[in-house]
Chains A and B, each alone.
Chain A
C-alpha cells in the first residue's frame, strides 16, 4: 500500500490537516462525498464542534507532527451554529499568520476559509487549491519546526 505522503511517482505529496467545524464545513465535506467527485486524498480531517475551538496550538501541533499545511474551515459569516465562533477563528488565524511568518512558515501553509453545509463543490475546490499550493511550496522544513516550534512547549500547556 502506498502512503499518500510519498506518491507513487516519488513526487512530493503534501500532508495537510483540515480542522472542520461540525455544522457547516464537516457537513460540506460530507456533501462533497455525496456528489462522489474525486479530490486529492492529502487532507486529514479533524472534526471540532466549532471553528472557534481551533486553538492556535492545534495548528502548531499539526506542523510539529509532520503536516505541511493546515486548513481551517468555518461556517460563513453570520451562519455560525454558535453565533460567532467563526469570527473568533478568523481573528485568531490572522494573528497566527504573523507568528508563523516570524518563524519562517509561509502564510499559504495555513489557510482559513468558509465552507457551508451545502457547498460540496466549494469544499473540493478549496481543498484542491490548498493541496496544489502546498505542493508548489514543497515540504515544510523540519529545521523550522525543531528550531521554532518545540512540541514540548506545546504539550506542556495542554
Chain B
C-alpha cells in the first residue's frame, strides 16, 4: 500500500513549533509511508491545487494530512480528494496545530508529539475503506398531527410549495385552543379573526387542494423511517357529509338530547348533534354517538328530517375507518393542556362555586360561550370582585417546577377584559412571580398596574392558599385565606386559577405510537433545547408548538414554520435522500441475535430480523455514534470509518 504524508506548515503556525525535518526522519520508512511532502498553506487555493496535482502524479492508495483540526478543514480536503478522483474517506487528518504546535513550548517535544500523532494516522489509514454516500427514494409529503397554530402554520407553509400535507386533528374543528378565545394577548386581538386568514387558506385557499384535513382522527400506527413513513390513521365517523353540508345548523336545534359541552369546559350543554362552537371550521356538525338516541336503539331521525338539503347529508351509516398515508416526514403539533388544579384541593376547583380555570374563564368571557359573554356568577350576579391566582402549580417543586411564561399574560389580559366589561369590579392578582418578557408583553402588565381597581398581592406558596365558600356573603361569596398571614384573607365573587401548561393528555400514547420520547415533564422531547428545539430524537419527526414546551401563539407559529423549514430542506421534491456513509453495520455471521445493540441505540435505528434472528441497522436512522459497536459482545457490529481495526491500529501507532 502506498501512503503519502502531507505536512502543512500553516504559514508559520505549525512550522514555528514543529520541525518538519525531525518529523520526516521518524515518519519516512514507517509502515507504508511512500513519501513525505510539506506545503506552506494547504487550505489556500495554491495548496489545494498542489494537493490535487500531486495526487494525480503520485497516485497514492491512502494519504495523511498533518495540518489543523479536522473540524476546520477535513471537508475542504475531502472535496479536493473527490475532485482529484480519489475516494475522500481514504484520508486521515492529523491535528498538529491546535493540539500540538499551539500548545507545546518545546520544538523537540512538539515534533515528537506530532510524529506520534502521524504514526497513528499512518497505521490507521491503511484500514480505511472507500465509502460512498447512498441515496434512496423518499416521499416529499408530510403528515401533521394537530391543527392548532403550529400545525396550521406548518401545513400552510409546506402546502404553498406544492407539497401534499395530511393534517390530522383529533377534535371536530381546526384552529386549536386559541379559536376558543375571544381575545388574545398581547394586543387583545380576536383570536378567531386573527386565525381566519390562515384557516381560510387551509380550507379554501389556492393551495387547499394540497392539504387533506382529517378531523376527528388520530394516528394509531407509524412504521418506516425518515423519507418513507407509513401512518395508519383512525377516522372516527362524523355522521355528516363534510363536502355537501352547508352548516346551517337546522339539525342541531331539533336534537332532543342534551349533554355537557366540552368546548365550553362543561359549563353548559350541547346537543348530541352539534357544531363544536359557533364559528367552528369545518362548518359541519358531528354526531356524538355516545349520546345519540340511535345508539340507544331508538330510530330517531329528527336531524336527518330537518336537513334542508334532504337525505344523504346526515349519514347514520358512517363508520370508523382506518386510512393509510405514506409520507417522508411527520410534524407533531398536538399542543398542551392545563395543570389539573384539582391536585391542589384547597383551591376549591369543582367544590366551591365560581372557581374557574383560565380555560373556563376564556369561555365565560367569550360571546360564543355559555353565558354569551355575560360575566356573571353562577347565581346570576355581576361579580363585585374577581381574584386572579397566578402560578397555580408553577414554580413549585411539589407540582411543576417550571414557569409556563404565558399564564401572567393571560391573567393581565383577563384584567383588561374584566375592566372593559365591568368597570367597577375589583381585581385581586395573587402571584408568586410576575413574568412578562418580550417587546409587547409589558403593555398588559402596565394596564393591569394602572387599573385603579386592581390590587397585586404576592403569596409565597400555593399550599398556603385556601379557597372556601364564605358563610357571610358580605364583600364576596368566596374567601381566599393565606394561612401564612391569617389576617390577609381576601373576599371575591369569582376566582380564576391560572394553572401551569402541561403536556396534552395523550402525549404519552402518541410518543409510543411515533417512537419519540418525552422529557422529564412529559412534553415531547426535543433533539437539543437551543439548537434543535423542533426536531424530535427520531429523524424525520419534528415537534412544534406547546407539545414541546409551554409557549404562546407567536412561538408556536414560529416553531411550525421552523419544522416546515426542516421538512422542505431535508426532503426535496424530485430528489433522492442522501445517506451519510459513517454508520454502523452488522456482520450477520457473527451476530448472535442478543439485541443488546437494539437496547442501546438512541435512534431506534436497529431492528431485529425475526426470520434470520439477526440485528439489522437502518442506515437512514443510524447517526454513526458507535455506541452499539462498543457494546456488541460478539464483535458483530461494525462502525464505518471507525472500525475496531482502524482504532486499534491508531492506538498502536500513536504509542509506537
Q: Which residues of A pack against B, CB within 8 Å?
A: 1-4, 8, 15, 17, 26-27, 29-30, 32-34, 36-39, 41, 44-50, 52-58, 61-62, 65-67, 81-85, 88, 92, 124, 154-155, 157-158
Cβ B625 vs Cβ A49 within 8 A: yes
Assess the B112–A27 pair: CB atoms within 8 A.
Answer: no
Q: Are A44 and B100 CB-contacts (below 8 A) given A1-B22, A158-B648?
A: no
User: Which of B22, B98, B631 is in CB contact (< 8 Å) with A34?
Assistant: B98
Residues of the B chain whose Cβ atoms lie less than 8 Å from the Cβ of A61: 648, 651-652
Q: Which of B570-584 contact A (CB under 8 A)?
A: 582
Q: How far is the CB of B236 from chain A (nearest CB, A)?
A: 35
With beta carbons under 8 angstroms apart, the residue of B103, B104, B602, B652 that contacts A85 is B602
List chain A residues, Cβ under 8 A from B600. Answer: 52, 88
Q: Are A88 and B112 in contact (CB under 8 A)?
A: no
Q: Does residue B554 face the partner (Cβ distance < 8 Å to A)?
A: no
> In residues 108-140 of chain B, which contact A (Cβ within 8 Å)?
108-113, 115-117, 120
User: What is the interface size of chain B, counting residues whose CB is below 8 A from a CB of the partner?
Assistant: 53
Is A157 a contact of B105 with CB atoms below 8 Å? no
Contact present for B71 and A26 (CB under 8 Å): yes
Write the nearest CB–CB distance from A73 to chain B, whole angstroms: 13
Q: Is the CB of B642 within 8 A of A49?
A: yes
Find out whether the CB atom of A55 lies under 8 angstroms from the CB atom of B629. Answer: yes
Instruction: Report B393 CB to chain A, min CB distance, Å.
Output: 25
Tell me whether A82 and B112 are in contact in the complex, defined as CB-CB below 8 angstroms, given that A33-B102, A38-B105, A46-B120 are known contacts. Answer: no
Q: How far is the CB of B524 from chain A (nearest CB, A)?
A: 14
**Beta-carbon contact of A66 and B99 below 8 Å:** no
- Cβ of B112 and Cβ of A52 under 8 Å apart? no
Instruction: Check B98–A33 contact: CB distance below 8 A.
Output: yes
24 contacts between A and B (CB under 8 A): A1-B25, A1-B108, A2-B112, A3-B112, A27-B71, A29-B99, A30-B71, A33-B103, A34-B98, A36-B102, A38-B103, A41-B113, A50-B626, A53-B642, A55-B644, A61-B652, A62-B651, A65-B652, A66-B655, A83-B602, A84-B627, A92-B630, A154-B648, A158-B648
Q: A33-B102, A58-B648 are in contact. Are A85 and B627 (CB under 8 A)?
A: yes
Contact B651 A1 (CB under 8 A): no
Q: Contact check, B627 vs A4: say whether CB atoms are below 8 A apart.
A: no
Residues of B within 8 A of A (CB): 19, 22, 25-26, 69-71, 95, 97-100, 102-106, 108-113, 115-117, 120, 537, 582, 600, 602-603, 623-627, 629-631, 635, 639, 642, 644-645, 647-648, 650-652, 654-656
**Chain B nearest Cβ from A6, distance in angstroms:** 10
Are A44 and B639 in contact (CB-based, < 8 A)?
no
A83 to B537, CA, bound (A): 8
Interchain CB contact (< 8 A) of A17 among B69, B644, B651: B651
A45 and B95 contact, CB distance less than 8 A: yes
**Given that A33-B98, A45-B99, A158-B644 are known contacts, is A52 also in contact with B113, CB under 8 Å in the complex?**
no
- Residue among B69, B111, B117, B600 having the largest count of chain A Cβ atoms under 10 Å: B69
In this complex, what residue of A is CB-closest to B628? A52
Q: How distant is the Cα of A52 from the Cα of B624 in the complex, in angstroms?
A: 11
Contact across chains for A49 and B537 when beta carbons are under 8 A apart: no
The CA of A44 and the CA of B124, in the complex, are separated in Å by 14
A27-B71, A36-B103, A85-B627 known; A62 and B113 CB under 8 Å? no
Q: Are A41 and B104 in contact (CB under 8 A)?
A: yes
**B98–A17 touching, CB < 8 Å:** no
Query: Which residue on B lies nearest to A83, using beta carbons?
Result: B602
A82 vs B584: C-alpha distance in the bound complex, in angstroms?
A: 14
- The chain B residue sitting closest to A81, CB to CB, is B625
Alpha-carbon distance A58/B116, docked complex (angstroms): 17
Nearest-neighbour CB distance to chain A for B579, whole angstroms, equals: 16
Q: A1-B22, A46-B654, A62-B655 are in contact. Are A41 and B645 (CB under 8 A)?
A: no
Cβ distance A106 to chain B, nearest Cβ, rounded Å: 19
Q: Say yes or no: B104 contacts A38, CB within 8 Å.
A: yes
Closest to B635 in A: A157
Contacts of A41 in B (CB 8 A): 100, 103-104, 106, 109-110, 112-113
Query: CA separation between A92 and B110, bound complex, in Å?
Result: 33
Query: In the bound complex, do residue B95 and residue A53 qualify as a contact, i.e. CB atoms below 8 Å apart?
Result: no
The answer to whether A48 and B651 touch across the interface, beta carbons within 8 angstroms, is no
| Chain A proximity of B108: nearest CB distance (Å) | 5
Closest to A155 in B: B648
B478: min CB distance to chain A, Å = 44
Contact assessment for A48 and B626 in the assembled complex, using a CB-CB cutoff below 8 Å: yes
B71 to A37, Cβ gap below 8 A? no
Cross-interface CB contact of B627 among A15, A45, A52, cutoff 8 Å: A52
Give A70 to B112 CA distance when docked, in angstroms. 19
Q: Report if A4-B626 is in contact (Cβ < 8 Å); known contacts: A30-B95, A53-B642.
A: no
Shortest A119–chain B CB gap in Å is 14
Q: Distance in Å from the Cβ of B241 to the closest Cβ of chain A?
A: 47
Q: For A2, A8, A67, which residue has the most chain B Cβ atoms within 10 angstroms?
A: A2
Is B626 touching A57 in the complex (CB atoms < 8 A)?
no
C-alpha spacing A34/B567, complex, angstroms: 36
- Chain B residues within 8 Å of A124, by CB: 103
Which chain A residues lie closer than 8 Å to B106 at the CB level?
41
Chain B contacts for A154, CB-based, 8 A: 648
Q: Other CB < 8 Å A-B pairs besides A55-B647, A154-B648, 18 of them?
A: A1-B22, A27-B71, A33-B69, A33-B103, A49-B582, A49-B639, A50-B627, A52-B626, A52-B630, A53-B626, A53-B629, A61-B651, A65-B655, A67-B655, A81-B625, A82-B623, A158-B635, A158-B645
Asked if A50 and B98 make an inter-chain contact with CB atoms under 8 angstroms apart, the answer reads: no
A4 — which chain B residues lie within 8 A by C-beta?
109, 112-113, 116
Determine if B625 and A37 form an interchain contact, defined as CB atoms under 8 angstroms apart.
Answer: no
Nearest-Cβ distance from residue B632 to partner chain A, whole angstroms: 9
User: How far is the CB of B621 from the nearest CB of chain A, in Å?
Assistant: 12
